[in-house]
Amino acid sequence: MLKTTGIIKLTLRENLRGQLLWTSAISGCVLLVLMAVLSGVALSHEARVIDIISYFAADQLLLFVALLSGSSICSNDFSSRGIAELYIPAGATRQSVYLARLIAYAAVLLMLATALFALKIFALPGFSEINYGMNFQIQVLMLFYSWLKGIAALAIAGLLGSLVRPLYAVLATVTLFSFGHLTSSLDSLVNSGIALNPAADLSQTNLLLLGLLKIWNPNLLVLESARGEWIFPPAQQIAQAAAWAICCILISTGLAFARINKIDLRP
């Protein structure tokens, strides 16, 4: 009888022997080392900028892998001649195939996130400066959050991949996440505007809109706060961001489950 764990194992092996994971890991390591070297020879204020860019670059690399993997789950397995054709007649449900693949890709993302984190924290101790004195527990929490954000991207790309072709799914997910980043920048701009001109007033509608934008991307709140000062206690902010990521994962997976029964496995 077909086991769901069997599909997870096979997907893990497929990834561990594939090029995407290793190319991403090596690219990430090279990027971090190069940035560390640059940071070492730069002036102090430049070094800070380079560190921040490095931090984001590693985060974005993880996101990129998540987007590519997520968008291919549905498109390769269900919308075209894929390995679901092997699993489904053997007795696996479409949902279990999807979930097994999602779990295996999440595990791969965890490996990649942990490898880059370990390199940043242990092999390149200069990077810990970016965290402005954060303790190790908070750094581990941020790794956990970064991983959750990757799975959220994976799940959203998976859902979109069940609706459109993989390339469009990647583009749509990138748009969603870019929107989150832009809204966060807008929020920072508004805050600095208010700081410069305390008399400035924002309408209730604008405040409401800004609040809604913040709900979309609290992950940036965590990073923005880490860069400057924490608005709330760090653990609380990370927990808030994690709750957001978990909501995204659950909603996307639920919608993909509903959608997946309608996909024809076309020859």
Partner 1 sequence: MSGRFLTANDLFYKWHTQDIFDRQKDKVLWTIENLEINEPGIILLAGRNGVGKSTLLRCLLGLMKPTRGNILWFGESTLPRGRIGYLPELPVLPARAKVSEIITSLLGLSVSDFKRKEQELPAIRSLNISALMDRQAQLLSKGQQQKLLLTLALAGAPSGFVLDEPFSGLDPWARSELADHLVQLGAQDHFLLVSSHDAPPRIRKHIRETWIIENQKLQRIPGCAIPE
- Out of 29, 31, 38, 82, point to the residue binding partner 1 (CB under 8 A): 82
Spell out the residues 6+ positions from residue 186 whose beta carbon is closer than 8 angstroms to its own.
210, 213
Q: Does 103 bind partner 1 (CB under 8 A)?
A: no
Q: Alpha-carbon dihedral of residues 27, 28, 29, 31, nearest 10 degrees? A: 80
Q: Which residues ranging from 228 to 267 are in contact with partner 1 (CB under 8 A)? A: 262, 264-267
Q: Does 25 bind partner 1 (CB under 8 A)?
A: no
H runs (alpha helix) in 92-135? 94-118
Spell out the residues 6+ positions from residue 253 whose beta carbon is closer than 8 angstroms to its own.
99, 102, 155, 158, 159
- Out of 25, 33, 57, 86, point to the residue binding partner 1 (CB under 8 A): 86
Q: How far is the CB of 96 from partner 1 (least distance, A)?
A: 11
Q: Does 83 bind partner 1 (CB under 8 A)?
A: yes
The window from 51-59, 88-96, 126-134, 161-169 that contacts partner 1 (CB under 8 A) reads 88-96
Q: How far is the CB of 20 from partner 1 (least distance, A)?
A: 11
Are 61 and 69 a contacting pair, CB within 8 Å?
Answer: no
Alpha-carbon span 235 to 185, nearest angstrom = 22
Q: Does 6 bind partner 1 (CB under 8 A)?
A: yes
Task: Tokens for 111, please give them.
Answer: 């490996």
Q: Does 163 bind partner 1 (CB under 8 A)?
A: no
- Out of 7, 74, 152, 241, point to the residue binding partner 1 (CB under 8 A): 7
Q: Does 167 bind partner 1 (CB under 8 A)?
A: no
Sign of CA dihedral 235, 237, 241, 247: positive
**E-assigned strands of the chain?**
none
Residues binding partner 1 (CB under 8 A): 1-3, 5-7, 9-11, 13-14, 17-18, 81-83, 85-91, 262, 264-267
